[in-house]
Structure 1
Amino acid sequence: MRDADEGAVSEKPQIKKLLEAGERGFGTVLSLKFPYNEQAIPTPGTDAWKTAIERVKKVLPTIMDRIDILVIGNEPFLETRKDQRDRRLNLFYEKIAEYIIAYRAEHSARKTKLYMGALNHLDWDNGQTGATKRWMTFVKKTKDIEGVDIHPHVTSLAGAQKYLDYILPRMRPEQKFLATEFSLVLLWKEHQTDPVSARFAEKYQDAQGKQVWEVLREATEQPFTQQKWDDFLSMTPWFANNKTYLQDQLEQFRKTERLAVATYGVSQDEAMATNFTARKNPWMLNSLYCPYTVRQSKDGLPGRNRVWIDQFRALQKTN
């Protein structure tokens, strides 16, 4: 949302791309991200609150009734200071939502559906709090809210199930959920200091004696051939044992009959591949396209994660 401070919102590259996609017939989802990790979350009536509302005022005329889904908040419980992840967080987002609901009604912008989002770490012992309960209470009682977004980055499907067990009973029967991010990245992270698999080290001598994160760092510094990346994934047991993850996760979501939209990270980006260490989340293992760890092919196409890409294509189904 800070991006709204400078220049026309309609000229922002990410907004232009999204609106162009909508004009071409794609479904579109936009999340409004309010980062307050380094400052207090605004209290209604203060100057900081007025700044937040002014940003919203700049965004809504450009996107309302032109995108399909607007998510109010990106990851509120991660993008707010730890000491303020309580009723102060709830109050801020509730008031923002009420402003957006009133704007939509005033402009008869019914095409754009509203969701609250997104909840994180509901599978952690400390992830379900009074503030998350109030979040879901607001979702349930507010008739203009279609449901809630979740970001289940987990170690197993059982972890993702805990998200569903939490949100579904706390919504109205007709409400649905989004999963605009999901992955097993926290499982991958648990194995970063494992020795690289013996099979891979036997085939690629330069990997002998190294840990997983060191091999991943090398891939970011000198991208692998497609074959070497394929071998690394298929010869790594904890990855290969989850080779049907995308299919399994979508089946879990769809079985609820309450899934509205699930979206998945398509491509690696520079942030994933820069200064990689054993402590950094290995997001690069999730991506379908791998321009930062796999050499470009002779036909000019980017490298890819061939474990996921066929599943991703097969799962392109709308209800």
Structure 2
Amino acid sequence: MRDTGGTAVGDQPQIKTLLAARERGYGTVLSLKFPYNERPLPAPGSSGMKTALARLDEVLPVVMGKTDILVIGNEPFLECRPADRGDRLNAFYEQLARHVIDHRDRRSATGTRLYMGALNHLDRPGGRTPATRRWLDFVRKTPAIAGVDIHPHLSAPGGARRYLEYVLPALRDDQTFLATEFSLVLLWKEHLGDPVSAKFAARYEEHRGQRVWQVIKAALDGPFTQQKWDRFLSMSPWFDRHRTYLRDQVEQFRGTGKLAVAAYGVSQDADMASGFGVDSTPWLLNSLFCPYTVLPGKEGLPGRNRAWTDGFRSAQQR
């Protein structure tokens, strides 16, 4: 939302792409991200709150009724200072939500469903607080809100169940949930300092003695062939034993009968590749397409992470 105030919202590339996709028949979801990590969250009635509402007023006329789902917030409990992750956070986002609801009602734009999002770290004891409970209470008690978004980035596949066990009982019968991000990225991160597998090092002598993060860095510095990238992942037990994760996770979400949308990361980007080291968060291992670590194929398509492609295709067919 801090991208407002300069270029007209409707002329921004991201918004133009989103609206064009919907015109071509795609379902669309837009999350409204309010980053306040470096300053206090505005209190209702403050000048900062007026600024936040003015930014909303730039965006809402462009997207309301023109996108299928609008998520009020992105990762609110991570995108503010730790000191603000209580009632101050709830008050801020509840006022934003009421403002969005009022705008939608005035425009009669009921074709855009509204969700509150997104909750993180619900698989950890410290991730469940009075503020997250108040968040879900507000969602349940507000008729115009269709549900809640979750972002289960996990260190173990079973962690998503803890999200569902916390969130689903709090929803009304007519409400659903989104999972606009999900992955095992925290599990991958735990293994960046591991020695590369002996099988991979035996086949590719140049990586003998290296750690996992160093092999990934080598792929970023000089992209691997598709075959070499496939072998690196398949010969890494901590990765290969979870190669059905994407399919399994979507099936778990769908099995609740309460899933509205699950979205998965399509492509590596520049931020994932920049300054990669042992302490990086390896988002690039989640991606379906791998233009930063894999050479393009003969047909011109980018390289890919073939651990995920079958599961992704089967999810579309379902």
The TM-score by the shorter chain falls in which range? over 0.9
How far did 1:299 drift? Answer: 2.2
Partner of 1:87: 87
Q: How does 1:188-207 map to 2 (within 5 A)?
A: 188-207=188-207
Q: Distance in 1 between matches of 2:91 and 2:70?
A: 19
Distance 1:300 1:314, change over 3 A: same
Q: Distance in 2 between matches of 1:65 and 1:254?
A: 26
Q: Distance in 1 between matches of 2:199 and 2:125?
A: 37
CA deviation map 1:217-264 (0-9, x unaligned): 111111111110000011110111001001110111011000000000
CA deviation map 1:248-302 (0-9, x unaligned): 1011101100000000000000010111011111111000000000011222211
Partner of 2:40: 40
Partner of 1:249: 249
Query: SS at the partner of 1:178?
Result: strand
The answer as to 2:86 corresponding to 1:101 is no
Q: How does 1:57-206 map to 2 (within 5 A)?
A: 57-206=57-206
Deviant stretches of 4+, over 6 Å: none
Partner of 1:28: 28
Aligned-residue sequence identity (percent) comes to 60
Query: SS at the partner of 1:4?
Result: coil
Q: What amino acid maps onto 1:89 in structure 2? A: L
Query: SS at the partner of 2:201?
Result: helix
How far did 1:172 drift? Answer: 0.6
Q: Distance in 2 between matches of 1:80 and 1:155?
A: 23
Q: Distance in 2 between matches of 1:227 and 1:103?
A: 52
Q: Distance in 2 between matches of 1:202 and 1:54?
A: 60
Partner of 2:283: 283
Q: Distance in 2 between matches of 1:304 and 1:247?
A: 17
Q: Distance in 1 between matches of 2:117 and 2:309?
A: 27
Q: Distance in 1 between matches of 2:148 and 2:317?
A: 21
How far did 1:48 drift? Answer: 0.7
How far did 1:317 drift? Answer: 4.8
Q: Distance in 2 between matches of 1:41 and 1:79?
A: 10
Q: Distance in 2 between matches of 1:317 and 1:91?
A: 41
Q: Distance in 2 between matches of 1:309 and 1:270?
A: 22
Query: SS at the partner of 1:148?
Result: strand
Aligned residues: 318
Q: Distance in 2 between matches of 1:24 and 1:80?
A: 36
Query: SS at the partner of 2:268?
Result: coil
Partner of 2:18: 18
Q: Distance in 2 between matches of 1:66 and 1:317?
A: 26
Partner of 1:293: 293
Q: Distance in 2 between matches of 1:258 and 1:141?
A: 18
More moved, 109-118 vs 152-161: 152-161
Q: TM-score, normalised by structure 2?
A: 0.99
Q: Distance in 2 between matches of 1:42 and 1:277?
A: 36
How far did 1:128 drift? Answer: 0.3
Query: SS at the partner of 1:126?
Result: helix
Question: Is there any run of 5+ residues in structure 1 with no aligned partner, and where?
Answer: none
Query: SS at the partner of 1:3?
Result: coil
Q: What amino acid maps onto 2:7 in structure 1? A: G
CA deviation map 1:136-193 (0-9, x unaligned): 0000000000000000000222211000000001111221000000000001011111
Query: SS at the partner of 2:196?
Result: coil
Q: Distance in 1 between matches of 2:260 and 2:63?
A: 20
Partner of 1:212: 212
Q: Distance in 2 between matches of 1:4 and 1:271?
A: 22
Query: SS at the partner of 2:261?
Result: strand
Q: Distance in 2 between matches of 1:80 and 1:39?
A: 8
Q: Distance in 2 between matches of 1:154 and 1:298?
A: 35
Q: What amino acid maps onto 1:136 in structure 2? A: L
Q: What amino acid maps onto 2:303 in structure 1? A: G
> RMSD over aligned Cα, in angstroms?
0.8
Q: What amino acid maps onto 2:284 in structure 1? A: M
